[in-house]
């Protein structure tokens, strides 16, 4: 847990320093999709999937099982709706680089995420849930209305969270 907090703190410091990657792949907005971007979502392997939520103290993530019917709903928005404990809207998403990168485009209500602990739980529950159910996925990137501009000091926008950041 200490290692995870250290990695998250380092990522926040780098984000606050104004470090930023600029590329057309990261600036993925509707109508600006590159050839290596696919829309849609891989199907879940079974009916029961494992997701993560924050514990009662909002200090750690804990797993829970959820039933998923791949014939009725796409996996990425399903996971977002079941795990998101804030009122943050998922505007859209894309899978890139042969399903190794997931870009989640979030709406204005991202500002409802309060403080470092809230942002940490928001990111960790979503990232762990996606990494658990999409084995080929290597990184999750959050965007704000299609932009990678850093808008929050307690959450990386436009910079990927990697599978190894969560020891998965």
Q: Can you read off the two tokens belonging to residue 145?
A: 């209305």
Q: Is the pTM of this model over 0.75?
A: no
In 3D space, the residue among 28, 134, 126 whose CA is nearest the CA of residue 80 turns out to be 126
- Residue 69's SS3 state is coil
**H or E stretch covering 79:** helix 75-83
Residue 36 to residues 26, 45, 91, 98, Cα–Cα distance (Å): 12, 24, 20, 7
Give first-to-last CA distance, the chain, whole Å.
13
pLDDT at position 165: 94
- Return per-residue pLDDT of the chain as tens, 168 residues: 444 444 444 444 344 444 334 334 434 444 344 334 334 444 434 579 999 999 988 889 999 999 999 888 999 999 999 999 888 999 999 999 999 999 999 998 888 888 888 899 999 999 999 999 999 999 999 999 999 888 877 889 999 999 999 998
pLDDT at position 121: 94
pLDDT at position 153: 75
Q: Give residue limits of the domains in the chain.
A: 2-166
């Amino acid at each position: 847990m200490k290692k995870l907090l250290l990695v998250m703190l380092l990522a926040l410091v780098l984000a606050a320093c104004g470090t930023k990657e600029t590329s057309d792949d990261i600036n993925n907005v509707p109508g600006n999709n590159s050839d290596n971007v696919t829309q849609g979502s891989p199907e879940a392997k079974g009916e029961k999937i494992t997701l993560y939520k924050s514990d009662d103290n909002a200090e750690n993530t804990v797993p829970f099982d959820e039933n998923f019917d791949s014939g009725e709903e796409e996996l990425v928005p399903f996971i977002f709706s079941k795990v998101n404990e804030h009122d943050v809207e998922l505007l859209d998403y894309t899978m890139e680089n042969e399903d190794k990168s997931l870009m989640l485009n979030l709406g204005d209500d991202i500002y409802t995420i309060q403080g470092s602990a809230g942002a940490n739980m928001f990111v960790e529950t979503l990232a762990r849930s996606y990494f658990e159910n999409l084995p080929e996925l290597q990184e999750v990137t959050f965007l704000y209305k299609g932009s990678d501009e850093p808008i929050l000091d307690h959450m990386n926008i436009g910079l990927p969270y990697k599978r190894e950041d969560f020891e998965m």
